[in-house]
Amino acid sequence: MQTINSAPSEALTLKVNEIFYSVQGEGSFALYPCVFVRLTGCNLRCAWCDTTYSFYEGNQQTLTQIADQVNAWPAELVEITGGEPLLQRNIYPLFERLHASGKKVLLETSGSLTIERVPGFVHIVLDMKTPGSGEHEKNRYENLDLMKATDDLKIVISGLEDFEFAEQLIMKHQIHKKLQRPVIVQPEFGRLEPAVVAEWVKAAQVPMRLGLQLHKYIYEPSLRAV
């Protein structure tokens, strides 16, 4: 009997919330043109979630339909995000398909599911959760050992307690010695002033960098698909 993952890509589907072309707003590829594939569904309910529409909305699309939309734009970068994209097992053949078509593939994942099967060519943005999110107990810390040196670790914070949590996490796991670039500490948009976090980052005991959701400064913050 043929398994789902050995089926031709025309038969494989993913539930897709939206596919759009914009500039990357976050992380090491910030401000590069990028196609976003947002998959439906999330196993977390973070207090500050700005994509709650991704929890249920969407339709099943074949890998070919997804790849055709991605390839319709000239960007080299494509980010698969959510929701939590690793919830859908057909993401793995999608990684291969997009990589084979010459794209640089990024994955944004919460760190609550294992990244052990994510191929080495994928740039992972691991979004570990702090107490302010209400979901930090779902963090799978073994993912920190599975990250490549070139990947990004991002930690969203809503206050000083979260910042100190991030600092302790970095020190405990010596993450600054494993990753090529410092951990991104990103203030919750609209709640915590970037200038305040900039001062905390400057005084931190371990290397960090300030992250901002730049798309919310370029475009109207409540807009979708930007």
- Tell me which residues touch ligand SF4 (CB under 6 A): 42, 44-46, 49, 51, 54, 82-84, 110
Phi–psi pair at 124, nearest 5 degrees: -95, 135
Cβ closest to ligand SF4, residue 84 vs residue 97: 84
Closest approach of ligand SF4 to the CB of residue 56, in Å: 12
**Is the peptide bond prior to 111 cis by the omega test (within 30 degrees of 0)?**
no
- Cα–Cα distance between 208 and 142 in angstroms, integer? 21
- H/E stretch holding 123 reads strand 123-128
Closest approach of ligand SF4 to the CB of residue 4, in Å: 24
Q: Taking the CA atoms of the chain, what radius of gyration do you get in angstroms?
A: 17
Cβ closest to ligand SF4, residue 35 vs residue 46: 46
Closest approach of ligand SF4 to the CB of residue 84, in Å: 6
Closest approach of ligand SF4 to the CB of residue 85, in Å: 10
- Cα–Cα distance between 36 and 98 in angstroms, integer? 12
Under 8 Å between Cβ of 189 and 81: no
Cβ closest to ligand SF4, residue 40 vs residue 67: 40
Cβ closest to ligand SF4, residue 127 vs residue 204: 127
Closest approach of ligand SF4 to the CB of residue 43, in Å: 7
Cβ closest to ligand SF4, residue 127 vs residue 167: 127
Residues 6+ apart with CB under 8 A from 174: none
- Nearest CA-CA partner of 12 in 58, 81, 60: 60
